[in-house]
Amino acid sequence: MALSTTLSQMSIALPTGIDGSSRSMIKVQSISFTEKSWSPLLRLDSKSRSLSVKTRSTICMSLQQASRTKVAVTPLELEDPKETPLNLYRPKEPYTGTIVSVERIVGPQAPGETCHIVIDHDGNVPYWEGQSYGVIPPGENPKKPGAPHNVRLYSIASTRYGDSFDGKTASLCVRRAIYYDPETGKEDPSKAGVCSNFLCNAKPGDKVKITGPSGKVMLLPEDDPKATHIMIATGTGVAPYRGYLRRMFMENVPNFKFDGLAWLFLGVANSDSLLYDEEFAGYLKDYPENFRYDKALSREEKNKKGGKMYVQDKIEEYSDEIFKLLDNGAHIYFCGLKGMMPGIQDTLKRVAEERGESWEQKLTQLRKNKQWHVEVY
């Protein structure tokens, strides 16, 4: 059946920024579709830096197909190593990277500040999704005069290709640690988190000492492209999952295909505290059969008992489905503050008992099958 329609004007969005959101538009006049159509070819002139539009004949795609165009990445040699890159740089001999950008990624009503920080490592500190970098803040360790500060670990929030898709950067998701005096209620700068404040205050061009990469617990298993991955996070614990999801849904990696289910549970205080929400909403729109996204907003939502909605309450809400997926081999991941785990464990234990199962036995089996992945701090 021939498609015959005419558009007097079409807007083409140019994605920019870490979330791929559209910031600028180009308008193309008089586009007509019959059995074939032409699609605009955008060309950037390196001399004039002006954007021109040419036309070419292509087979007409559905809107759904068009919305799923993925980003090419390089170098593909990053797919080759059989062994996980580990501890290429250690605290005594760290690598000096360069800050590319620091961007606040929470709204004005979020309690506290969280920043997305891009670091240029020039391809010298390769990593895999789910690993961490260590950061050594400048200055002297107050507990060890003359010695540098201790290393602080941060989960990497990008794929191995980085936000620029060229394998030369890594991104961190950092919440600024601020201390408030319990008596006065005022901020005490002398007790502020040394590393988080250094990173959140950094400017493009600043140098940063990094170690690693480290960690194998949160690596994304890729042997089964149809696997189910249940990802549970509080706050900045969403960092490794952003890397997973960009690899699954944003990047065009020839030897990596994902046709399973990725299910993200994210717990934060309120809507302004949501991290990378536009990216995740985009995946939900483009890949509804492969991605699910549930949020727990503790200061805006109530659980079934009338209390605050925490991530464990969302897990309980979908517990039957989650347990069935686990029984069928799903991987489950937990990342965030240590305080999240007791409540989650209690919820899972209660649900298991309601199902007539022993949670201890089930947990042992999940660990034995390498389905259980936990990284808390």
337 assigned to a ligand binding site? yes
**What number of residues does the chain have?**
377
Pairing between β-strand 114-120 and β-strand 261-268 as defined by DSSP bridges: unpaired
d(CA 238, CA 175): 12
299 assigned to a ligand binding site? yes
Joined tokens for residue 114: 């969280």
Which residue of the set 129, 279, 316, 375 is catalytic? 375
SS3 258: coil
292 assigned to a ligand binding site? no
357 assigned to a ligand binding site? no
d(CA 132, CA 156): 5
Which residue of the set 115, 173, 195, 335 is catalytic? 335
Q: Is 285 left (phi over 0), alpha (psi -120 to 50) or beta?
A: alpha
Joined tokens for residue 213: 């990469």
88 assigned to a ligand binding site? no
Which residue of the set 11, 278, 353, 377 is catalytic? 377
Annotated active-site residue 154? The verdict is yes
Annotated active-site residue 89? The verdict is no
48 assigned to a ligand binding site? no
Which residue of the set 155, 158, 196, 273 is catalytic? 155
Beta strands in the chain (DSSP E): 5-15, 22-33, 36-44, 51-59, 71-72, 95-104, 114-120, 132-136, 152-155, 169-175, 207-214, 228-234, 251-252, 261-268, 291-297, 331-336, 372-376
242 assigned to a ligand binding site? no
Annotated active-site residue 377? The verdict is yes
d(CA 240, CA 172): 9
- Using CA atoms of 65, 67, 68, 71 in order, give the dihedral in degrees to the nearest 10: 130
SS3 281: helix
Q: Helices 340-354 and 319-327 sit at what angle, rounded to 10 degrees?
A: 80
Please name which of 250, 54, 37 lies closest in space to residue 159, comparing C-alpha atoms: 250
d(CA 159, CA 163): 8
| Chain Cα centroid distance, residue 192 | 26
Which residue of the set 95, 133, 154, 276 is catalytic? 154
Annotated binding site for NADP(+): 155, 175, 236, 298-299, 308, 336-337, 375
Q: Which residues are catalytic?
A: 154-155, 335, 375, 377
Annotated binding site: 155, 175, 236, 298-299, 308, 336-337, 375
